[in-house]
Amino acid sequence: MIHQFSATNFQSLCDELAAKDPDLQKIIEIYGYPPFWSRQNTFESLVHIILEQQVSLAAANSALNKLREAVQEITAARILLLTDEEMRACYVSRQKNGYIRFLAEAILSGQLNLEEFPGLPDDAIRAQLVALKGIGHWTADVYMISALHRADIFPIGDLAAVNALKRVKRLPPDITREQMLEITEQWKPYRTIAAKLLWHFYLSTPGKQTLPGVPLA
């Protein structure tokens, strides 16, 4: 079964989770609801997320805007017309240049068909994405959350989500990935909504990442 969320039911799903989890309820009480963050199911969105890998959102946006200036519309065919030098001038690293070109070739060859994604289960989408060079689980998670609005994804590879989870749930610093994933099971089938609440908490408390009563250490 495919679980999705939308702008229409997003806040009600936040309330549903919060009613079962006092820590999530406290986030809403103090910081309000998370923004409804959405992207299109397009090649450009995937390029954007690749650009966001291991850099600030501002740096990724700068590179994306430079690419838009260079090709007007970011499509697989137009990106492949850019030389390596032109990609560098758009603040795209050599490594990410390779990833983006590989993705463009997969789109044009039919190896990857984004139009099929809305009807596919999460595992099938993830398998197709992580099979591509430069796309790991974090990129796949963010794409499924932001572009496909899949409701039951917890991005365990995202440092902000993980750090917020540790603070909000008062977890020990040495807790394992497996133990954290077990904690997120309580939020199924809406683990994405919980992740969005945790992101909201993280972004609302710069330099703190804590709630009243939650120790920093």
Break the chain into its structural domains and give their ranges: 10-37+153-204, 43-146
> What CA–CA distance (Å, rounded) separates 209 from 204?
8
CATH number for region 43-146: 1.10.340.30
Q: Please give the pLDDT value at position 55.
A: 87
In angstroms, what CA-CA distances link 178 with 105, 175, 181, 184, 216? 35, 8, 5, 10, 22
Confidence tier at 207 by pLDDT (50, 70, 90): low
Q: Which of 141, 150, 86, 90 is nearest to 118 (CA)?
A: 150
Query: Is residue 31 classed exposed, middle or buried when 0-12, 13-18 and 19+ CB atoms within 10 A define those classes?
Result: middle
Evaluate if residue 159 carries a pLDDT over 60.
yes
Average pLDDT for the chain: 93
* pLDDT for residue 214: 34
Q: Could you report the per-residue pLDDT of 57-89, keeping only the tens digit for each? A: 899 999 999 999 999 999 999 999 999 999 999
Does the pLDDT of residue 199 top 90, yes or no? yes
* 1: confidence class by pLDDT, cuts 50, 70, 90: confident
CB atoms near residue 166 (< 10 Å):
18
CATH number of 10-37+153-204: 1.10.1670.40
Q: What is the reported pLDDT for 149?
A: 97
Reported as a pLDDT band with limits 50, 70 and 90, residue 144 is: very high
